[in-house]
Amino acid sequence: MLGDIYHVYMQYLQGGGGPSYDLPRSWRYQKELTGTGALGDLGCHALDLVSFVTGKNYRKAVGHTDTYVTQRRLEEGEGYGPVDVDDFCHYLMEMDGKTSANFSVTRFAYGRGNYQRMEIYGSKGGLVYSLDVTPGVDELEVCFGYPYDRSGIYTKLPIPQRFQCDQMQSFADILNGCSDGMAATIQDGCRIQHALDVIIRSAEEEKWLPCD
């Protein structure tokens, strides 16, 4: 119904890493234990969601990461230890069919809990999915056809019950061989992990890199 997909804008924003929380230097802030920061913690889910919804793979990437709080108090004992993972990551991705995807991921979005927003714009329509605008609530807005394309009005729609999914039930269904076929696979995980690795290298080298 959306037609050819031109653009995707994806945000995954949390505020829990900010100074007001004063979080200790847990494993999440140590590269040798976690690999990346906000990118691997939140960005992997954003990449997976956009790929799943559009049905497209990633072809190339360019990323920008940085760290705001470079030291955090130790979990045990006194003093502070260095933080060597990203607090935020912005990255652009080219997907199949030249679809352009723009991602913003951070732990420093003041006041946000588990906020997500995905906007998809195609040749025949637009779709906006959001989570946690109202805490814990999923929302869906759509715009299709004339005259709505000229009005700038998006209509909120209820999400049908058949599309509500429980993560642990999906996992149990896979183990029991009765999955609906829509759950992520090990191959999906490897593909997303590869995209993460490319984004990290791109941020370090400050240039576009292929994901193939």
In the structure, what pLDDT confidence band is assigned to residue 87 with cuts at 50, 70 and 90? very high
The reported pLDDT for the residue numbered 127 is 97
Query: In this structure, what DSSP letter does residue 18 have?
Result: S
| Domains in the chain, CATH or no CATH each | 5-210 (3.30.360.10)
Q: Decide if 102 contacts 47 (C-beta within 8 A).
A: no
The reported pLDDT for the residue numbered 122 is 97
pLDDT in tens, 13-52: 999 999 889 999 999 999 999 999 999 999 999 999 999 9
Q: Which residues contact 142 (CB under 8 A, 6 or more apart)?
A: 125, 126, 127, 128, 154, 155, 157
> Which amino acid makes up residue 76?
E
- How many residues are listed for the chain in this entry? 212
pLDDT in tens, 147-161: 888 888 999 999 888
Q: 4 or 148: which carries more pLDDT confidence? A: 4
pLDDT in tens, 94-112: 999 999 999 999 999 999 9
- 3-state SS, residue 197: helix
Angle between helices 44-54 and 186-205 (to 10 degrees): 120
Q: How far is CA 165 from the centre of its chain?
A: 18
Q: Is the model's pLDDT at 89 over the cut of 90?
A: yes
Q: Is the model's pLDDT at 115 over the cut of 90?
A: yes
Average pLDDT, the chain: 94
First to last CA, the chain: 28
Q: Decide if 27 contacts 34 (C-beta within 8 A).
A: yes
